[in-house]
Structure 1
Amino acid sequence: MTFLEFLLILLVLYYVIYVLLWIVLDCNVALWYKSRFGVSLSSMRGQVVWITGASRGIGRALALSLARHGVRLVLSARRVEQLEQVQSECLAAARGLLAQKDVLILPMDMLELEKHQSHLYTVLNHFEKLDVLVNNAGRSQRANWTDISVEVDRELFELDVFSVVHLSRLVVRYFLEQNGGRGHLAATSSIAGFSPVPFSATYCAAKHALNAYLLALKVEQRKLDITIFAPGPVATDFLQEAFTGSQGTKVGLSTANQKRLTAERCGELFAVSLANKMDLTWCGLFPVNFLAYCARNSTLTKILAQFMTEKTLNKIREGKL
């Protein structure tokens, strides 16, 4: 066997193993590696992390994962009662690493842009610093492309894109003025943000737009850490509040008994991506993780398009396949 043949065999084995990992893992390979051998979550102990949409789902799960390692938290959402419950859960999970003053409840409506600055001042007055902003608040959508009213397009973009960008700009200005341009900005995106799925056109567009905003920021501000976390289907009540194609209506469906990643696992992986300051990560059960990898390759995307109908893609997206 020549040296060139040996190298060719190694290359083939590498790609075979890599594809197998796409199938077996519930996240991208880099994130899985960091969860095993990367920076420990304990490295974030004492940092201040502000999480929007923290009252349930991924935001709640992320807060609990960070609290277990002594990360100080700001919990924001509209429902005070739910935030108080999450605060109690975080303090219990911390096992003495956090006191009540270390988990701040900050009720807020992301759409009230005029209050964003005062909310930031509240965080800074309480903790005297902010290390990480996690933009997690948002809503999904289920609707046929042709049935979506432009009013719904505007409402979804206002919540999932413009409110996030507005709050992020205020925090980035703080990072630039107080930390010499250093800080960490994160957002809950979606695999739909780089791999469009059927029956959610506005949501897909919003996540694509959010990704572009954050990636453009990274180009301009190289000292900033930017984390785009893109889950696939997760077992939360996300569909209860999801937009439809008509203004003022909600999907109102449950995700129970569907094949979805648990919110707890999703929050754990999100926490790992923050601790390791990863730029783009994603998670999802097979075949979602496999399809996410394929979507990052234009050739594989074209090949899959020949075999995947919109009905098949929708079954995968809804955890029915």
Structure 2
Amino acid sequence: MPSFGYFLACEDFTPGQLLEQARRAADSGFTRLAISDHFHPWNDAQGHSPLVWSMVGALSQTVHLPVTTLVTCPTMRLHPALTAQAAATSSQLLDGGFALGVGTGEAPNEHILGDRWPPFEERAEMLEEAVEVIRALFTGRQVSHRGPHYTVENARLYTAPHGQLPIHVSGFGPKAAELAGRIGDGFVTMGPDEEAIGRLREAGGEGKPVIGGLKVCWDPDRDRAVDTAHRLWPTEHLPGELAQILPTPNHFEQASRLVTRDQIAESVTCGDDAEEHLHAVRAYVDAGFEEVYIGQIGPHQDAFFAAYHDKILPALGTS
């Protein structure tokens, strides 16, 4: 049976709201937390984007649940050596209950320092080298590294991770799934894509956990829930590589005009029908996910947590 966690969307809430959601998640029966890492929100309607490492530190002092980044990009905005230090400190604060989810990133977050935004193949190379650097530093030994993308000289993490710190690699296509199978301790993918999981297994990922999740909008008024999801998260339904290459929230708002309300109504679990929510979560269970994270879009957090405590999580066999 997989474990079920709550997804903290930094793009959609203030730091204080995220901490309160973490408390409510723990009280409601969720056993893990995941948190996004962005410099910008996807659009202005979301309106927030706190620093993930500050949030992880605050979470460690707020609740006693494991935390995973879903996901951070350790290649451009933050050098892999600094990512390693941040992750190791997080591991210590959470008594070993921290996992580092990493990916190749998106342009709106990673281009902000003026760096060129490379194509996927190059970003994948950068991620593979970054993971190599991070793993070397996690040993606590002194590291010097000179590669095609990164230089590290005489670096040592004196505050090394608490025990093993897993690195889960995110992927949304066959090449990324194969990369995760080769270099990751686990595979992060947001949809219940059995084909991608198969590619992961074929690329050396047999036995590695699959981690993912979904956003829902619990609201007694289903039409209002659809409107909320369409206003705040149309970007999750943009086609192709748009989510990786558009540079600013304004560009995402322009592209999101391609996403219709009917598409949201069909693809996002909206409303207060417990069976619909159960069906959406069970799709991940049936696909073989070990960790499933559910995030509530917009307001009605109290109703969401009450429903998942009373109806959804018990029906999934968690209590």
Q: Which has the larger radius of gyration?
A: 1
Say yes or no: TM over 0.5: no
Higher strand share: 2
State TM-score, norm by structure 1. Answer: 0.37
State TM-score, norm by structure 2. Answer: 0.38
Higher helix share: 1
